[in-house]
Amino acid sequence: MGEVQQVLSGVPLFAALDEEALGRLAARSVARDYGTGHLLFAAGDDCRGVYVVVSGRVRVFRTSPDGREQVLHTEGPGDAVAELPLFDGGQYPASAITEVESRLVFVPRAEFEALYRDSPDVAQAVIRELGRRLRHLVQVTETLAFRDVAARLAMYLAQWAEQRGTATAGGVELTLDRTREEMSLELGTARESVSRAFKQLAGNGLIVRLSRTRIRIPSVERLRTLARPGERPRYS
């Protein structure tokens, strides 16, 4: 089994495919390495196919006319990027760029289309995937609409702690592999505001800064509480 096929077999979207279909798909797909900051496609481009992340990380975002950026989601190993336009024949609604050095497999459009047209299981997987996206976007929307930056950051850290945090005696410890700048793009705010929000959370004892890139969260529970209090947020 070639490397490409190996990778594709681990992608939820293609989980339902049998050996043969997978092999055929792999044969027509291409793996390639990209450096940091490579633009895979821009919002408005016509869709040529779907990318699957082998390693690294891809950021999907919208750009405002005056250059600001709002990250819609980031995808890591095993995730697919840009399935959406394949179905309605439309254009990419957002742009995508590699955040770090990444290896991606590109599946041409025609190939992918034939696939889910024939296989109900794949269609099912696609629906599930779109559903996941939709749920996530609802989350993003809510975040932008409601909370102030500190609450958004609290939410963000709490969610992150549950994924990659490691439990210790003093609470969950967490390494942040992103710069404040990158976080600011996801939170829909400015770099400086993220810094200030960190200070605020630290001041309230909700987080402890162990180093620049590492924090401890004494209680994820309490952190979440700040993100959704019954009342509007008010800090000392």
48 or 180: CB nearest DNA: 180
Minimum distance from residue 209 beta carbon to a second copy (Å)? 27
Do residues 116 and 123 make contact, with C-beta atoms less than 8 angstroms apart? yes
Q: Which stretch binds DNA (CB under 7 A): 32-40, 87-95, 148-156, 217-225?
A: 148-156
Q: List the single partner that 212 binds among a second copy, DNA, none, CB under 5 to 8 Å by kind.
A: DNA
Q: List the single partner that 21 binds among a second copy, DNA, none, CB under 5 to 8 Å by kind.
A: none
Report the alpha-carbon distance of residue 110 to residue 86 in Å, rounded: 9
Minimum distance from residue 217 beta carbon to DNA (Å)? 16
Report the alpha-carbon distance of residue 224 to residue 78 in Å, rounded: 28
117 or 214: CB nearest a second copy: 117
Is residue 114 at the binding interface for a second copy, with CB under 8 A as the rule? no
Is residue 189 at the binding interface for DNA, with CB under 7 A as the rule? yes
Is residue 235 at the binding interface for a second copy, with CB under 8 A as the rule? no
User: Rule CB under 7 A: which of 204-233 touch DNA?
Assistant: 209, 211-213, 232-233
Instruction: For 3, list phi and psi in degrees, rounded to 5.
Output: -60, -45
Q: List the single partner that 65 binds among DNA, a second copy, none, CB under 5 to 8 Å by kind.
A: a second copy
Is residue 130 at the binding interface for a second copy, with CB under 8 A as the rule? yes
Is residue 146 at the binding interface for a second copy, with CB under 8 A as the rule? yes
12 or 208: CB nearest a second copy: 12
Do residues 185 and 69 make contact, with C-beta atoms less than 8 angstroms apart? yes
Q: List the single partner that 195 binds among DNA, a second copy, none, CB under 5 to 8 Å by kind.
A: DNA
For the chain, how long is the longest CA-to-CA vector? 62
Based on the number of CB atoms within 10 Å of its own CB, is 108 exposed (0-12), middle (13-18) or buried (19 or more)? middle
42 or 134: CB nearest a second copy: 134
User: Rule CB under 8 A: which of 30-69 touch a second copy?
Assistant: 62, 64-66, 68
Is residue 192 at the binding interface for DNA, with CB under 7 A as the rule? yes
Residues that bind DNA (CB under 7 A): 66, 68, 148-150, 179-181, 188-196, 198-199, 209, 211-213, 232-235
